[in-house]
């Protein structure tokens, strides 16, 4: 192999790596665990203004803080409790183990200072989700969600 060919080999390997990395998510898109949006824009209005009162709505961003899991669309089912919870070094964690089911499991994303949520179906191959909470807050605030 000539010196000139050896110089191009690392470049070819780099190009191959980037092409492979770019295509990999496409081939596994059905197995990708949904990531909750970091913020949710919510517009709230008052449906009936009380007599003698001025009504003011809100139009602001709300930060992602927590997740819930359900066995079917959360609007039509119950929220699942964690299979186990534990605390280590002031960090709380919870794990949900999903049993085989005819219905799909869903993840719901919760946001601060609003009841508005977004939800979507988890990939069918997901059997477990673990959530680590940020111990700096008194209310649960998600630090990390891992599903597999």
Per-residue pLDDT of the chain (148 residues; tens, 9 = 90+): 444 434 433 443 333 333 333 333 333 344 567 899 999 999 988 889 999 999 888 899 999 999 999 999 999 999 999 999 999 887 899 999 999 999 999 999 999 999 999 999 999 999 999 999 998 888 889 999 999 9
SS3 66: strand
Please give the residue range of the domain that contains residue 112.
38-45+56-147
Copy the structure tokens of residue 69: 């899991």
Is residue 21 one of the residues assigned to a domain?
Answer: no
Is residue 2 one of the residues assigned to a domain?
Answer: no
Copy the structure tokens of residue 129: 């989700």
Number of domains in the chain: 1
pTM comes to 0.74
Is residue 26 one of the residues assigned to a domain?
Answer: no
Is residue 64 one of the residues assigned to a domain?
Answer: yes
Is residue 86 one of the residues assigned to a domain?
Answer: yes
Is residue 51 one of the residues assigned to a domain?
Answer: no
Is residue 23 one of the residues assigned to a domain?
Answer: no
């Amino acid at each position: 192999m000539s010196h000139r060919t050896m110089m191009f080999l690392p470049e070819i390997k780099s190009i191959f790596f980037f092409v492979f990395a770019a295509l990999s998510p496409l081939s596994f898109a059905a197995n990708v665990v949904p990531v909750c949006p970091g913020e949710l824009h919510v517009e709230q209005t008052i449906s009936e203004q009380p007599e003698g009162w001025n009504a003011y709505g809100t139009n602001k961003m709300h930060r992602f803080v927590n997740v819930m899991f359900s066995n079917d669309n959360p609007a039509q089912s119950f929220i699942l409790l964690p299979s186990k919870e534990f605390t280590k070094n002031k960090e709380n964690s919870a794990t949900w183990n999903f049993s085989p089911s005819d219905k799909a499991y869903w993840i719901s994303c919760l946001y601060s200072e609003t009841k508005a949520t977004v939800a979507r179906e988890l990939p069918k191959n997901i059997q477990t989700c673990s959530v680590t909470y940020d111990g700096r807050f008194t209310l649960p605030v998600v630090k990390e969600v891992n599903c597999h």
